[in-house]
Amino acid sequence: MKRFRAFQLATAVVLLGLSAWAQEFPRVEVGADYSYARFAPSSAYTQGHSLNGGGGSLVVNINEYLGIKMDLQGFQSTTNTFNIPQNPVFPGGASGKVSGDLFTYLFGPIIKVRAHGFHPFGELLFGAAHSNVYGNAFKQICQPIAGTCSFSKSPADDAFAMDFGGGVDIPLGKTIEFRPVEIGYLLTRFTNQFSNTNQNNFRYSAGLVFNFGHTSY
C-alpha cells in the first residue's frame, strides 16, 4: 500500500512537472501600434522634429525565446525651421520652414522572455528609412534663388536605418497582449548636403499584439 501511494505521489509530481514544462508559445505575433519619433534630420541646422504615427509588426518565432521580426512604421509630416549659416555649400546662407515625414522598414532578431504575468523583450533591427524632409528643404531653400546652394541635385530620400531597443508585453489572454511601452534608439544615415552625419533619433511605441498558432515547448 505504501509503495502504491509512493508511486501515486511520484506520478503526480511527474505530471505536474510535465504540465509546467509543456507551456505554449505563439508561432506568429502580429502587432499594431501608435508610435512617436523624435527625428533629428540635422542637428547643425534645425531642432528635432516630433513625429506622431503608427504601424505594425510581424514576428515569426523560431522557439520560445527567439523570433524574427518585421517592423513597419510611418510618421506624419511636421514643420520645423532651417537656419543655415554661410558656408561653401550654402554661400549666402539660408533659412526657411520645412516639413518632413519619416518611414522605417526594419527586420531582425527579437528575444522575448515569457515570464509569468509579463513578457519583456529586446531587439536589434536593420533596414531602411525614407523621409522627404531633405527634398522639401532643397525645393524651398535652393530652388527659388539661383546660387543659394552650391548643388543642383535633390538629395536622396532613402537611407540606412537601425533600431536597438526593447519593451514589455502584458498577456490579456492566450491570443492577445497589451504592449504599454517599447522604446528604441533609432539610427538613420541620411548623408547629403543638409546632413553629412548620422541622425540619432528616439522612438516610443505602444499597442496590441495578437498571437497565432500556439505550440508547446
Residue 7 has a pLDDT of 44
Extract the runs of DSSP E, i.e. beta strands, from the chain: 24-39, 49-61, 66-84, 94-112, 119-130, 158-171, 176-189, 199-216
Domain ranges, ordered by start, for the chain: 24-216
Q: How far apart are CA 148 and CA 126, in angstroms?
A: 36
Q: What is the pLDDT of residues 59-107, one digit of tens each?
A: 999 999 999 999 999 999 888 888 888 888 888 787 888 888 999 999 9
- Is the pLDDT confidence value at 152 over 50? yes
Residue 215 has a pLDDT of 72
**C-alpha cell of 142?**
535652393
Please report how many Cα atoms fall inside a 13 Å half-sphere around the Cα of residue 194, on the Cβ side: 31
Q: What is the pLDDT of residues 160-169, one digit of tens each?
A: 999 999 999 9
- Is the pLDDT confidence value at 201 over 50? yes
Fold of the domain built from segment(s) 24-216: Porin (2.40.160)
- What percent of the chain lies above the pLDDT cut of 70? 88
